[in-house]
């Protein structure tokens, strides 16, 4: 009887995988179809790409990027359909879903002047889905879905998974160059910018300190409110900031070369991050209601600052040196994530204003 109860406990659906898969599918759709400038007068039909001849030259980068891009899809799909479909049936179902999803996007690219659908991309996407599924199945979704992952998430965030998903998105939102590190929410509206001519104390350095302080404080207080375990919240937030620094440094090497790894970093950013974490420490002793209000005010202030303050000339030079070509649409996706993160955080705060997360 105990074994049956344990098995049922371990056979619960993995809801976090379902939410993550939905988010990832939205990101793939955006990256694949942006800028959504569909042309309805094309003489091609949506299935013509299937019979297109194989190109004489197939760039290795394009193949690898398509394979890697669908690895998470295959991995997450296995956990999403568990426990309804398992083992080899799950493998077949996942591959079919990957091929159908990729095929629909390739067909839609037929009507995009800036995109070229290709059977090679479809094969690569299918291969990526297969590899991702093969990685997931040996991990025993039955154990993972009902035990470790759900227990860890529930322990820190309860049943409100939005805060956990926002924590996953936060490091990704820092990859695209920003006016100052953590300066998310920039809508790039030139009509809101004030004069770019500064004098002390309103210079580029003080602007970086101001934005980084407000941003780090807003991010930290947002997660202070969302994390259930008060004793572990500061440690988790500190680890999050450390991961964001490491990811930004690692990605900058690919964006700007070996000498550009720390191009984004400055003493002003370090001061702003230290000040922000100090204020987070002080607020960690406040009640949840106060943390909710301070997080909301900080995120609103961040959006206002990044859209009103002038662009840093070093930031503008970074934008000019960003890799283009195959990275152009990836850069657009990363910019979009950076722009909407604080708006999503504010929406989640407003939705959670009556929730007692203690």
Mean pLDDT of 68-96: 87
The two structure tokens encoding residue 260: 């550009």
Q: How confident is the model at residue 2, as a pLDDT?
A: 41
In a domain, 114, yes or no: yes
- Residue among 136, 210, 222 at smallest CA distance from 173: 222
Q: How confident is the model at residue 58, as a pLDDT?
A: 67
The dihedral built from the CA positions of residue 27, 99, 97 and 137, taken in this order, carries a sign that is: negative
Q: What residue numbers bound the domain in which 333 lies?
A: 158-351
In a domain, 356, yes or no: no
Q: How confident is the model at residue 309, as a pLDDT?
A: 85
Q: Bin 257: left if φ > 0, else alpha if -120 < ψ < 50, else beta.
A: left
Residues 111 and 182 both lie in one domain: no
Q: How confident is the model at residue 222, as a pLDDT?
A: 94
Query: CB of 132 within 8 A of CB of 74?
Result: yes
168-184 pLDDT tens trace:
889 888 888 888 888 89
In a domain, 26, yes or no: yes
Q: How confident is the model at residue 3, as a pLDDT?
A: 42
Q: Which of 124, 152, 180 is the endpoint of a domain?
A: 152
At residue 69, does pLDDT exceed 70?
Answer: yes
In a domain, 358, yes or no: no
Question: How many domains would you assign to the chain?
Answer: 2
In a domain, 18, yes or no: yes
Residues 145 and 168 both lie in one domain: no
In a domain, 19, yes or no: yes
Residue at token pair 């657009």: 332
Query: CB of 141 within 8 A of CB of 78?
Result: yes
Q: Could you give the angle at the alpha carbon of 66 between the alpha carbons of 86 and 316, nearest 5°? A: 130
Residues 101 and 46 both lie in one domain: yes
In a domain, 357, yes or no: no
Residues 81 and 196 both lie in one domain: no
Residues 87 and 201 both lie in one domain: no
Residues 212 and 128 both lie in one domain: no
304-350 pLDDT tens trace:
999 888 877 666 566 655 555 445 556 677 788 888 999 999 999 99
193-235 pLDDT tens trace:
765 555 555 677 888 899 999 999 999 999 999 887 666 788 8
């Amino acid at each position: 009887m105990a074994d049956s109860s344990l098995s049922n406990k371990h056979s619960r659906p993995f809801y976090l995988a379902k939410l993550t898969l939905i988010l990832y599918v939205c990101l793939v759709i955006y990256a694949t179809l942006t800028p959504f400038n569909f042309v309805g007068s094309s003489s091609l039909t949506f299935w013509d790409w299937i019979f297109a001849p194989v190109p004489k030259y197939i760039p290795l980068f394009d193949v690898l990027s398509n394979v890697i891009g669908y690895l998470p899809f295959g991995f997450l799909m296995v956990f999403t359909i568990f426990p309804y479909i398992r083992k080899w049936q799950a493998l077949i179902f996942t591959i079919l879903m990957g091929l159908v999803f990729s095929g629909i996007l390739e067909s839609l690219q037929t009507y995009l002047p800036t995109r070229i659908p290709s059977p090679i991309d479809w094969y690569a996407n299918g291969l990526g889905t297969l590899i991702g599924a093969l990685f997931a199945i040996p991990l025993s979704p039955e154990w993972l879905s009902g035990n470790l992952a759900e227990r860890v998430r529930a322990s820190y965030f309860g049943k409100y998974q939005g805060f956990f998903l926002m924590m996953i998105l936060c490091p990704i939102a820092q990859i695209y160059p920003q006016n100052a590190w953590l300066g998310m929410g920039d809508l790039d509206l030139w009509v809101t910018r004030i004069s770019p001519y500064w004098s002390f104390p309103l210079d580029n350095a003080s602007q970086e300190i101001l934005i980084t302080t407000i941003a780090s404080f807003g991010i930290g207080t947002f997660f202070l409110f969302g994390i259930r375990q008060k004793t572990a919240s500061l440690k988790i937030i500190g680890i999050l900031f450390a991961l964001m620094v490491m990811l930004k440094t690692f990605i900058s090497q690919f964006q700007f070369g070996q000498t550009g790894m720390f191009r984004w970093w400055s003493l002003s950013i370090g001061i702003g991050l230290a000040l922000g974490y100090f204020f987070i420490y002080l607020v960690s002793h406040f009640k949840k209601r106060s943390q909710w209000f301070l997080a909301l005010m900080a995120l609103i202030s961040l959006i206002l600052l990044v859209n009103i303050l002038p662009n840093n000339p070093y930031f503008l030079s970074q934008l000019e040196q960003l890799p283009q070509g195959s990275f152009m649409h990836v850069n657009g996706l990363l910019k979009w994530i950076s722009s909407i993160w604080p708006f999503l955080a504010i929406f989640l705060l407003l939705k959670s204003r009556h929730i007692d997360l203690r």
